[in-house]
Amino acid sequence: MTEKTEKQIKDEQMVQEEFNALLNEYLNSNHRRKVERITKAFNFANQAHAGARRRSGDPYIMHPLAVARIVCSEMGLGSTSICSALLHDVVEDTEYTVEDLRNMFGDKIAQIVDGLTKIAGGIFGDQASAQAENFRKLLLTMSDDIRVILIKIADRLHNMRTLGSMLTAKQFKIAGETLYLYAPMAHRLGLFSIKTELEDLSFKYEHPNEYEMINNKLRATEESRNKLFEHFAEPVHLKLQAMGMKYDMRARVKSAYSIWNKMQGKNVPFEDIYDIYAVRIIFDSQPGLDEKNQCWDIYAAITDIYRVRPDRIRDWVSHPKANGYQALHMTVMGPDGQWVELQIRSRRMDEIAEKGFAAHWKYKESNVEEDTELDKWLQTITEILESPNPNALDFLDTIKLNLFTTEIFVFTPKGDLKTLPQGATALDFAYALHTDIGNRCIGAKVNHNLVPLNHPLSSGDQVEIITSRSQKPQSEWLGYITTAKARSKIDAVLKKARKDEAQKGKTKILEAFKRIDLEATTSALDKLALYYGFPKREDFYYAVEQGDVMLPENIQKLLKEKTDNIFFKYVKQALGVGQKNEKNPQVKDEEKKEKPKFDKTKPYILRGDEYSKNYVIADCCKPIPGDDALGFINDDDTVVVHKRACPIAMRLKSSFGGRILNTEWSSHRNTSFDATLQVNGIDSVGVLTAITKTISEYNVNIQKVLIEAKAGFFEGKIKMQVHDVEDIQKMCVTLSKIKNIKSVGRIAE
The pLDDT assigned to 680 comes to: 87
Active-site residue, from 3, 11, 17, 93:
93
Whether 524 maps to a domain, the answer reads: yes
3-state secondary structure of 548: coil
Packing angle of the helix pair 62-69, 79-86 (nearest 10 deg): 160
Among 210, 239, 272, the domain boundary falls at: 210
Is the distance from CB of 189 to CB of 356 less than 8 angstroms?
yes
The pLDDT assigned to 402 comes to: 54
Phi-psi region of 121 (alpha: psi -120 to 50; beta: other; left: phi over 0): left
The pLDDT assigned to 362 comes to: 46
Residue range(s) defining the domain that contains residue 472? 372-492
Q: What is the mean pLDDT of the chain?
A: 79
In 3D space, the residue among 75, 56, 59 whose CA is nearest the CA of residue 67 turns out to be 75
Whether 403 maps to a domain, the answer reads: yes
**Percentage of the chain modeled with pLDDT above 70:** 81
CATH of the domain at 700: 3.30.70.260
Residues 309-335 have a mean pLDDT of: 84
Is the distance from CB of 71 to CB of 85 less than 8 angstroms?
yes
- pLDDT for 575 beyond 60: no
> Are 28 and 125 within one domain?
yes
Residues 351-369 have a mean pLDDT of: 56
The pLDDT assigned to 517 comes to: 77
Phi-psi region of 337 (alpha: psi -120 to 50; beta: other; left: phi over 0): left
- pLDDT for 501 beyond 80: yes
Q: Is the full-model pTM beyond 0.75?
A: no
396-452 pLDDT per residue, tens: 555 555 554 566 778 888 877 787 877 889 999 999 898 899 999 988 999 888 888
Whether 653 maps to a domain, the answer reads: yes
252-268 pLDDT per residue, tens: 888 899 889 888 877 77
> Are 327 and 252 within one domain?
yes
> Are 123 and 74 within one domain?
yes
Residues 368-392 have a mean pLDDT of: 52
Is the distance from CB of 437 to CB of 465 less than 8 angstroms?
yes
- pLDDT for 347 beyond 80: yes
104-121 pLDDT per residue, tens: 888 888 888 887 876 664
Rounded Cα gap, residues 353 and 355, in angstroms: 6
- pLDDT for 135 beyond 70: no
Is the distance from CB of 347 to CB of 285 less than 8 angstroms?
yes
> Are 167 and 69 within one domain?
yes
Whether 167 maps to a domain, the answer reads: yes
> Are 728 and 631 within one domain?
no
* Maximum alpha-carbon separation in the chain: 98
Element (H, E) at 493: helix 484-515
Q: What is the dihedral of CA 137, 140, 145, 148, to 10 degrees?
A: 30
Number of domains in the chain: 6
The pLDDT assigned to 578 comes to: 42
In 607-698, at which residue ranges do the beta strands (DSSP E only) sit?
Answer: 616-617, 629-633, 639-643, 660-665, 673-682
3-state secondary structure of 441: strand
Among 492, 509, 540, the domain boundary falls at: 492
The pLDDT assigned to 357 comes to: 59
> Are 118 and 12 within one domain?
yes
CATH of the domain at 276: 3.30.460.10
Higher-pLDDT residue of 39, 179: 39
Long-range contacts of 568-572 (CB under 8 A, 24+ apart): 569/530, 569/531, 569/533, 570/530, 570/531, 570/533, 570/534, 570/535
The pLDDT assigned to 301 comes to: 92
Packing angle of the helix pair 484-515, 522-531 (nearest 10 deg): 110
Rounded Cα gap, residues 240 and 238, in angstroms: 6
The pLDDT assigned to 387 comes to: 53
> Are 387 and 291 within one domain?
no
Whether 462 maps to a domain, the answer reads: yes
Among 459, 492, 525, the domain boundary falls at: 492
Rounded Cα gap, residues 490 and 471, in angstroms: 13
| b (16+ CB within 10 A) / e for 185-213 | bbbbbbbbebbbbbbbbbbbbbbeebbee
β pairing state of 277-283 and 339-346: parallel
DSSP state of 418: E
In the annotation, is 461 catalytic? Answer: no
- pLDDT for 159 beyond 60: yes
CB atoms within 10 A of CB 279: 21
Residue 594 pLDDT grade (very low, low, confident, very high; cuts 50, 70, 90): low
Whether 237 maps to a domain, the answer reads: yes
Going by C-beta distance under 8 Å and a sequence separation of 6 or more, which residues neighbour residue 48?
90, 93, 94, 96
> Are 13 and 137 within one domain?
yes
Active-site residue, from 12, 17, 92, 610:
92
Residue 312 pLDDT grade (very low, low, confident, very high; cuts 50, 70, 90): confident
Whether 591 maps to a domain, the answer reads: no
Residues 263-275 have a mean pLDDT of: 77
The pLDDT assigned to 359 comes to: 57
Going by C-beta distance under 8 Å and a sequence separation of 6 or more, which residues neighbour residue 667?
608
The pLDDT assigned to 583 comes to: 40
Whether 365 maps to a domain, the answer reads: no
> Are 478 and 391 within one domain?
yes
- pLDDT for 70 beyond 50: yes
DSSP state of 590: G
Element (H, E) at 570: helix 563-575
- pLDDT for 129 beyond 60: no
**Percentage of the chain modeled with pLDDT above 90:** 13
CATH of the domain at 479: 3.10.20.30
Is the distance from CB of 627 to CB of 683 less than 8 angstroms?
no
Residue 28 pLDDT grade (very low, low, confident, very high; cuts 50, 70, 90): confident
Lowest mean pLDDT across 95-109, 465-479, 561-575: 561-575
Is the distance from CB of 187 to CB of 195 less than 8 angstroms?
yes
The pLDDT assigned to 298 comes to: 92
In the annotation, is 637 catalytic? Answer: no
> Are 11 and 127 within one domain?
yes
The pLDDT assigned to 281 comes to: 93
Residues 220-246 have a mean pLDDT of: 89
Residue 562 pLDDT grade (very low, low, confident, very high; cuts 50, 70, 90): very low
Name the residue type at position 94: T
Give the CA distances from residue 54 to residues 159, 165, 166, 199, in Å, rounded to whole numbers and listed in that order.
11, 9, 10, 24
Lowest mean pLDDT across 22-36, 128-142, 148-162, 346-360: 128-142
> Are 566 and 511 within one domain?
yes
Higher-pLDDT residue of 132, 692: 692
The pLDDT assigned to 400 comes to: 55
Rounded Cα gap, residues 417 and 409, in angstroms: 7
> Are 538 and 611 within one domain?
no
